[in-house]
Amino acid sequence: MALAPDAVEILADEYPDEQPLAAVEDEHRELLPATLRKGAYGRRDVEWIVQWYFRRLLGRYPDAERRAAEERFGDNEYEALETAIEGALAAETTRAKLEALTELTGVDVPIGTAFLQFLEPERYLAMSAREWGVFREQGELEEPYPDEPNVEDYERYLERCRELERRCDRDLWDCYRALWLLGHRSEGGR
């Protein structure tokens, strides 16, 4: 299935019926941006983003690695969380936003992109091998997903997402849903 406007619309519409976390994602997309901007969040709100990044794969990410990543993130002091989130919100460039977030223990560029998605959902999407793989299969990214993605990799991926958003006249979240579902299906899901 190509990333044509009609396909993106269909996939985005099918996403809630096929992805068990869809309702929880929608709830967090509604609440977290304002909660984070106001500084009215607790540790669990922030931990949820890290948990979501791994758990949306529904067991396809090795459990021991997931637990280790979540535990590393849990080592952050609350003040470090505040500093990173405030820094990301205040920063003007994607690079500076990710640099602020990756100061946190357990946050690399991919997990940082999940934070960006929930800090500024109108501008950013999370990046993982699944979404990247769809763009690669469609000929929109040439390289395989990097072993250790960096900011430049994310900016290249994000530009593809924004091009898809413009081409399909859909918001970034609909583009994410289409990419995620198409990636799931190409991995052998429904």
Interatomic CA distance for residues 132 and 86, integer angstroms: 28
**Residue 27, C-beta contacts closer than 8 angstroms, at least 6 positions apart:** none
Burial of 40 (C-beta count, 10 Å sphere; 0-12/13-18/19+): exposed
Write out pLDDT tens, residues 47-58.
999 999 988 876
And the tokens for 98? 């990710």
Q: Looking at residue 61, what is its pLDDT?
A: 59
Q: Could you tell me if 49 and 118 are in contact, meaning their C-beta atoms sit under 8 angstroms apart?
A: yes
> CA 85, CA 33: separation in Å to the nearest integer?
11
Find, among 102, 45, 100, 106, the residue nearest to 75 by Cα: 106
Q: What is the mean pLDDT of the chain?
A: 93
Q: What CA–CA distance (Å, rounded) separates 108 from 106?
A: 6
The residue-averaged pLDDT of 176-183 equals 94
CA atoms lying within 13 Å on the CB side of residue 166:
6
Query: Length of the chain, please?
Result: 190
Segment 178-184 mean pLDDT: 92
Q: pLDDT, tens digit, for every residue of 138-149?
A: 999 999 999 999
Mean per-residue pLDDT, 78-103: 98
C-alpha 106/C-alpha 73 separation (Å) is 5
> What pLDDT is attached to residue 182?
92
- The percent of residues above 90 in pLDDT, for the chain, comes to 84
Selected residue with higher pLDDT from 187 and 19: 19
Residue of higher predicted confidence among 67 and 90: 90
